[in-house]
Amino acid sequence: MINIDEIKSYLANKKKTYVADVRIRPSDETVMLYVSQDRISPKAHSGLASLRQLNNLKKDIIQKFSRNAEVILFQNDAQKELESGFYQILNRKFGGQIVSLYISFRNQSVVDAFIEVANLTGQLQTEISKHFSSVLEDADFQLGSLSWRDSPADLPTVIALLRVIKVLQPVSITELIVEVQKSYSSVSDGWLNHKLDLLRKKGLVLRQKINNTYVLSGEALSVIPVGARRNSSDIERALALGRKKW
């Protein structure tokens, strides 16, 4: 499981001050290095980086952390707003099938993009590409390269994930990943950590710092179906507690 703070510390020790931000792409744990275009120079200087230096940094990250790395060049903070806006436009058009979207400016007018789509097909790829190109043109940009990733379909819904946590709580991340992968083999440590962070921010999941375990909040408990059926979450929890005692 990759630690973003460890990456930031590594960059700070290496004095890579031109890296403005670091993100982890949840689907495959790719390290996304954000570098402002005004920090790019034909030759490396203090606080600046050449394209060759950025390429070498990618190789260092891959070797050090055993994860793929990509450099995202941005013009200013407005790029993040553009990225978010494009993501929302595409999701409205294609019914929430856009899992993630990242953009990088090749120059002032040409945009390269990475798009992750749920259940990607050739037809859907063509439709998204055509619509995204049109959206960019309306904003006076041109589409450069477009990279795709098909997001696995067998991922748990929020309710399904909360149900598993309810049955096992308090549950460690290790126990949770083992249990979730029994039904959803595509779930990775990175995906689960990202999802738990989102659920914590929404107030549905609480993390107990003493033993690093997760439990549901009262709000989450109110949205999970209950009942007297053999497979209800309450009965499953009783059985799980019995197994733990034995």
Output the domain CATH number for residue 172.
1.10.10.10
Based on the structure, what is the number of domains in the chain? 3
172 plus 234 within the same structural domain? yes
Domain boundary (45, 74, 103) is at 74
Confidence bin at 1 (pLDDT 50/70/90): low
**Distance from chain centroid for Cα 187:** 12
Report the candidate in 101, 224, 100, 203 with the shortest Cα–Cα distance to residue 157.
Answer: 224
Domain boundary (151, 184, 211) is at 151
- What's the alpha-carbon Rg for the chain, to the nearest Å? 21
Residues 69 and 61 sit within 8 Å (Cβ to Cβ)? yes
Domain boundary (101, 123, 151) is at 151
Structural domain harbouring 130: 78-151
pLDDT digits (tens, 9 = 90+) for 150-182: 766 567 777 888 899 999 989 999 999 999 988
What distance in Å separates the CA atoms of residue 116 and residue 158, rounded to the nearest whole number? 19
pLDDT digits (tens, 9 = 90+) for 69-88: 988 887 766 777 788 889 88
pLDDT of residue 134: 93
pLDDT of residue 138: 87
pLDDT of residue 149: 77
pLDDT digits (tens, 9 = 90+) for 7-30: 999 999 999 999 988 988 776 778
163 plus 232 within the same structural domain? yes
101 plus 125 within the same structural domain? yes
What distance in Å separates the CA atoms of residue 69 and residue 71, rounded to the nearest whole number? 7
Average pLDDT over residues 2-8: 86
Half-sphere exposure of 185 (CA within 13 A, CB side): 0
CATH number (domain holding residue 119): 3.30.300.20
Please check the confidence at residue 197 and state whether its pLDDT lies above 70.
yes
Q: What integer best gives the mean pLDDT of the chain?
A: 81
CATH number (domain holding residue 10): 3.30.70
139 plus 92 within the same structural domain? yes
87 plus 70 within the same structural domain? no
